[in-house]
Structure 1
Amino acid sequence: MKTISELLEGAATQAVPVVRGIDDAQLAVGTPCSEYDVRALLNHLFLVIGNFQALAVKGSTDFSRTDDVVTGDWRGRFDDETALLVKAWAEPGAEEGAPGSMGIPARTVGLMVLGDLTVHAWDLARATGQDFEPDPAVVAELEPGLAAMAPQAREMKVFGEPFPAPPGATAFERVLAVTGRDPGWRPSGR
């Protein structure tokens, strides 16, 4: 079984080119997350990555921040922050215990950020007309992991209602569907 750090490294390898491929002119376009445009989703992803770096080392978190960090060299900062996330989850003890106030096993917490990084990379790719192919090892972990978390995630309004996966759906399309996304989503007008 791969470690969370190894899985995050695979997810980051796929997410970083998507973020680098976003043009500033695309920051206001809608995403498959109806409550977020590209800028808001990037801000959310930066917030998640920073907080899950802290959770890896059993630090404190603040998910309430609403700063706009999509300024300056935000693409380079995304590279740096994802590298720090991978490094934090590689530290001895990162996958042990129950970090934060959630009372959830550390590996499950790691799967949560793995899901965010992978699914939101797809959201951003779809919104900005880019290709996205997730790491197969990541998908293999996410499919059962997110399916198990889905009922509680829906109660917490983190996932939408499950989308009916099309016949013959791929494992990643099933991951998207369990989070409430339409795997066939396209921006309006395309």
Structure 2
Amino acid sequence: MTPLAGAEQLTQSIGLVAAAVDGAPVDRYENPTPDSEWRVKDLVNHIAMMLVLTRDAGARTASDPALLTANPVPVLAGRPESEWALVVNGLAEPAAGAWSGTRAWQGEAALGGPPMPAEALGGILVAEFAVHAWDVAVATGQRLDVPESLARAMLGTYAREAPRMRGLGLLADEVPQDVHASLFERSLALSGRNPRWSSPCARGGKGCN
């Protein structure tokens, strides 16, 4: 993956997740997500954290340590949930912009942990932001259209990185895939998501709006 292609894909992926958060009604922030431990508001909080860490990683600047422990993260603290989408959208462009130049994809970079090859980290960010866009969308009843080129890049990343990420506790076990699954569905399965997951809220589940 060339730096130019990586930067374009990361901009696409961040755009998807920002749009999904923007389209998620605040009254659905308590809805469950494909990650059984998180509600939508927990996921939005995580996405905000990731965007700040992504910006700092691309710029090779140190991040606020509180990002990894505070809940909500500092950029959301004190803000009503009705403003969280606005904050996330404000973080999206700087995060993508920090990876727009060739230098961001060279050498090593870190995302709140040990440094790793920047190209590999950039690929992981592309995949993770797109998956989180799906998490938000499917939990709040939105449609998500992922370009095939982006889905192909995601699949390649998870095929390489999922075993290591799973060993670090960053991904759940791979979900068995349908023989006719799309590239994006195969990526979701490798990331530990069930591509057929649907919100219990669509079926009148308790604690849903």
Say whether 1:9 aligns with 2:49.
Answer: no
Deviation at 1:16, TM superposition (A): 2.6
Name the aligned partner's letter for residue 78 of structure 1.
Answer: V
- The Cα offsets for residues 162-184 of structure 1, whole Å up to 9 and x where unpaired, read as 00011200000000000111000
On the 8 A contact 2:47/2:88 being kept in 1, the answer is: no
| Corresponding residue number in structure 2 for 1:163 | 175
| Corresponding residue number in structure 2 for 1:90 | 100
Aligned equivalents of 1:126 and 1:32: distance in 2? Answer: 8
Aligned equivalents of 1:110 and 1:129: distance in 2? Answer: 29
Structural mapping, 1:67-82, within 5 Å: 67-68=71-72, 69=76, 71=80, 73-82=83-92
Aligned equivalents of 2:150 and 2:114: distance in 1? Answer: 23
Deviation at 1:73, TM superposition (A): 2.3
| Corresponding residue number in structure 1 for 2:194 | 182
Aligned equivalents of 1:103 and 1:181: distance in 2? Answer: 27
What is the alpha-carbon root mean square deviation over aligned residues?
Answer: 1.7
Deviation at 1:67, TM superposition (A): 3.0
TM-score, structure 1 length as denominator?
A: 0.92
Name the aligned partner's letter for residue 77 of structure 1.
Answer: V
Aligned equivalents of 2:92 and 2:19: distance in 1? Answer: 12
Deviation at 1:92, TM superposition (A): 4.2
SS in 2 for 1:90: coil
Name the aligned partner's letter for residue 115 of structure 1.
Answer: A
Structural mapping, 1:60-71, within 5 Å: 60-61=62-63, 62=65, 64-68=68-72, 69=76, 71=80
Name the aligned partner's letter for residue 47 of structure 2.
Answer: L
- The Cα offsets for residues 93-147 of structure 1, whole Å up to 9 and x where unpaired, read as 1000011353421011111221221001100101001111113222121111111
Which residue of 159, 165, 188 maps to 1:153? 165
Deviation at 1:154, TM superposition (A): 0.6
* Range with greater deviation from structure 2 (64-73 or 43-52): 64-73
On the 8 A contact 1:14/1:135 being kept in 2, the answer is: no
Aligned equivalents of 1:111 and 1:76: distance in 2? Answer: 26
| Corresponding residue number in structure 2 for 1:21 | 23
| Corresponding residue number in structure 2 for 1:117 | 129
Which residue of 39, 43, 46 maps to 1:44? 46
Aligned equivalents of 1:102 and 1:60: distance in 2? Answer: 12
* Range with greater deviation from structure 2 (36-45 or 77-86): 77-86
Name the aligned partner's letter for residue 43 of structure 1.
Answer: N
Aligned equivalents of 1:88 and 1:10: distance in 2? Answer: 14
TM-score, structure 2 length as denominator?
A: 0.84
Deviation at 1:57, TM superposition (A): 1.4
Aligned equivalents of 2:176 and 2:10: distance in 1? Answer: 27
Which residue of 51, 57, 60 maps to 1:58? 60
* Range with greater deviation from structure 2 (65-74 or 132-141): 65-74
How many residue pairs get aligned? The number is 190
